[in-house]
Amino acid sequence: MIRVIMHGCNGKMGQVISNLLKEDQEAEIVAGVDVSDHIQNEYPVFKNIAECDIEADVIIDFASVKAIEDLLNYSIEKQVPVVVCTTGLTEEQLAKIKKASEEVAVLRSANMSLGINMLMKLLQTAAQVLVPAGFDIEIVEKHHKLKLDAPSGTAIALADSINDSLDQRYDYQYDRSRELKRREKNEIGIQAVRGGTIVGEHEVIFAGIDEVIEFKHTAYTKAIFGKGAIQAAKFLAGKPAGFYDMSHVIEGNVQLNKT
């Protein structure tokens, strides 16, 4: 059995994963970490990861940007690989994650779903054909009203994936309300909508002269993120230090299915 520490166990995603792992034959939660104690769990829960004295093979993190430094310190000190799913991280925190991966296995992904990770690859192909033909790129994301960060980590990851295929030539425009001017050619507009219980929608719009191509991903339940995070945790347990993402997990599964 792979022993998991669930970081952010009493949040929405922490509880999705707690329920999924109850039925899992290969992995189990041995401890949780959460500042909130409004839920009774079948495993011990610590207020801060530094207090956790339970041995584990991997950590799954869906918590808060405020907890990232303690999480990385623990992961390095105890040599427990960590799957970082929390979004809204600063550039400085992202750099700390990369640095930590020199000492322990770290997998970070702003979106654990298969669909979004496949979409990133499709967008690179689309951008390479459509951008030279003069198409503009805009991203619109929609999420529930409880979400703290905006734009979503996924929207930024989709833009980054496009930008990687365009030699990093594009800047991101988050707010068009401040200046009276036309959009620049080399920008990707990113807009966030918040309301109700929307689980997650991402639309990537390639707008050309007289034609528009739209790629859309809709998450109908949070289980798609939970299942992806569990797959990632099983993949990462026992891995040597290094920086991993969901493409490694998906490629690993494709190889397994071939054999």
Ligand X SMILES: NC(=O)c1ccc[n+]([C@@H]2O[C@H](COP(=O)([O-])OP(=O)(O)OC[C@H]3O[C@@H](n4cnc5c(N)ncnc54)[C@H](O)[C@@H]3O)[C@@H](O)[C@H]2O)c1
Interacting residues toward ligand LLHOTIJI by CB under 6 A: 87, 110-111, 143, 147, 149, 152-154, 200
Do 111 and 157 contact (CB within 8 A), yes or no?
A: yes
Stretch that binds ligand X, among 58-66, 97-105, 207-215, 247-255 (CB under 6 A): 58-66
Q: Was 109 annotated as part of a binding site? A: yes
Of the two residues 64 and 93, which places its CB atom closer to ligand X in the complex?
64
52 annotated as ligand-binding = no
> What are φ and ψ of residue 70, in 5° steps?
-60, -40
Catalytic, 143? Answer yes
Residues 6+ apart with CB under 8 A from 74: 49, 50, 52, 59, 80
Computed on alpha carbons and rounded to an integer, the radius of gyration of the chain in Å comes to 19
**Which of 88, 242 has the CB closer to ligand X?**
88
Contact of residue 11 among ligand X, ligand LLHOTIJI, none (CB under 5-8 Å per partner type): ligand X
For ligand LLHOTIJI, the closer of residues 76 and 140 by Cβ is 140
Using CB under 6 A as the binding rule, whether residue 97 contacts ligand X is answered as: no
Q: Is residue 120 part of an annotated ligand binding site?
A: no
Which of 4, 17, 27, 63 is the binder for ligand X (CB under 6 A)?
Answer: 63
Q: How far apart are the C-alpha atoms of 86 and 108, rounded to whole Å?
A: 9
- 202: β partners: 141, 217
Answer yes or no whether residue 66 interacts with ligand X by CB under 6 A.
yes
Say if CB 142 and CB 200 are below 8 A apart.
Answer: yes
Q: Which of 18, 75, 87, 101 binds ligand X (CB under 6 A)?
A: 87
Nearer to ligand LLHOTIJI, 57 or 141 (CB): 141
Distance separating alpha carbons of residues 142 and 151, to the nearest angstrom: 9
Known catalytic membership, residue 145: no
Q: For the chain, how are helix, strand and coil distributed in percent, rounded to 5?
A: 35, 25, 40
For the annotated catalytic residues, the residue numbers are 143, 147
